[in-house]
Amino acid sequence: MTRHAAILGCLGPVLTAQETAFFRDVRPWGFVLFKRNVESPGQVRALTAALRATVDDEHAPILIDQEGGRVQRLGPPHWRRYPPGRAYGRLTTDDPLYRREIARLGARLLAHDLSALGITVDCVPVLDVPVPGAHDIIGDRAYGETVAEVATLGRAAAEGLIAGGVLPIIKHMPGHGRSMADSHEHLPVVEASRAELEAVDFEPFRILSDMPMAMSAHLVYTAVDPANPATTSRDVIGDVIRGSIGFDGLLMTDDLSMKALKGDFESRARSALAAGCDMVLHCNGRMDEMKAVVAGTKPLAGKAKRRADAALARVARSPEPFDVKAALARFDAAFEGRFAA
């Protein structure tokens, strides 16, 4: 049956009757979990199963933001703490390949945690390259301060997730590192030249353009489109994301409820899809907003459906062999126990 081009959230740790009926009716492509939705491993497994049952699809994607550091929806006492992206780039070593190994290992451990819960998509890696003076909304979430660091460790993280049966999402395309404001609260405007953007901001996404999914940035890039944020800009999506960067995977919006976007939720969803996004993401679980978002979406079809199907085809049905105990020992040794459970 047809699915809507939307990823939606729910309000609590169990589905309400209203949510169940709504999801059965609108059949979103996927779902997203936040801290409000998680209490214990058994509860999360029951919730992911219940969400999939509403769309009658055992492979319906379920997303979470589990980066480590400040952005970690699963945490103690049931799940271990993980370091932020920058911690991998700061590992003391003369061998940059060691940093890459540990970044992949950390993501492989994350995938092990997530797949056990029925979560199949992690909104990682962050491929933003922060510049001096930028807002700390990215900050230590970035793997480093250069294209080489961000792209190398970002690919390592993506590979670790894929090996564990979890899909990565590269974000925030085409680059959030120059933002001087938090797009959760305000619309950031980036005034760097196109040449600067191509050389720094866009380059990590170009290097990882083979990844299955990406998330758009709610930022205005005046050198490309001075009027619209990337999420609703035909110029940014067509000329930069699909053109210069060469990304042909599934492009989803960042959360439509963020204050960087203007207008009602129906128009936000409609504008994002009209600009070239394949999928809209709405996270807070508010029913009134979700109904408006769905009203602005359309059934998944054409190129968007092809990209969605291709993304899900990348999920490894059998994760690579993995010695969890040995992996945890090596990971904890790399960080001298600072992030041990």
- Asked whether 338 and 69 are in contact (CB, 8 A), the reply is no
Out of 122, 140, 254, 278, pick the active-site residue.
Answer: 254
What confidence category does residue 1 fall into, taking pLDDT thresholds of 50, 70 and 90?
confident
Q: Is 254 assigned a catalytic role? A: yes
- CATH number attached to the domain at 4-334: 3.20.20.300
Cβ atoms within 10 A of the Cβ of 1, count?
7
Instruction: Tell me the pLDDT tens digit for each residue of 159-184.
Output: 999 999 999 999 999 999 998 877 78
Is the pLDDT confidence value at 337 over 80? no
Rounded-to-integer distance, Cα 129 and Cα 89, Å: 13
Q: What's the pLDDT at 122?
A: 98
Query: What is the torsional sign of CA 248, 254, 255, 261?
Result: negative
The whole-angstrom distance between residue 230's C-alpha and the CA centroid of its chain comes to 16
Of 9, 74, 83, 12, residue with least CA distance to 40: 74
What confidence category does residue 112 fall into, taking pLDDT thresholds of 50, 70 and 90?
very high
Dihedral in degrees, nearest 10, Cα atoms 32, 181, 192, 68: -40
Cβ atoms within 10 A of the Cβ of 9, count?
24
Q: What secondary structure does DSSP assign to 31-52, as a single string?
A: EEE-GGG-S-HHHHHHHHHHHH
Rounded-to-integer distance, Cα 335 and Cα 341, Å: 12
Which has the higher per-residue pLDDT, 136 or 27? 27
Out of 25, 56, 184, 309, pick the active-site residue.
Answer: 184
Q: What's the pLDDT at 130?
A: 95
Instruction: Tell me the pLDDT tens digit for each residue of 228-265.
Output: 999 999 999 999 999 999 999 999 999 999 988 999 99
Give the containing element (helix H, strand E) for 157: helix 147-163
Furthest-apart CA pair in the chain: how many Å?
56
Q: What's the pLDDT at 6?
A: 98
Q: What's the pLDDT at 341?
A: 62
- Give every CB contact of residue 154 below 8 A, 6+ residues apart in sequence: 125, 126, 127, 143, 170, 204, 208
Rounded-to-integer distance, Cα 47 and Cα 148, Å: 39
Instruction: Tell me the pLDDT tens digit for each residue of 8-60.
Output: 999 999 999 999 999 999 999 999 999 999 999 999 999 999 999 999 999 99
pTM for this predicted structure: 0.96
Instruction: Tell me the pLDDT tens digit for each residue of 54-95.
Output: 999 999 999 999 999 999 999 999 999 999 999 999 998 888
Average confidence (pLDDT) over 273-290? 98
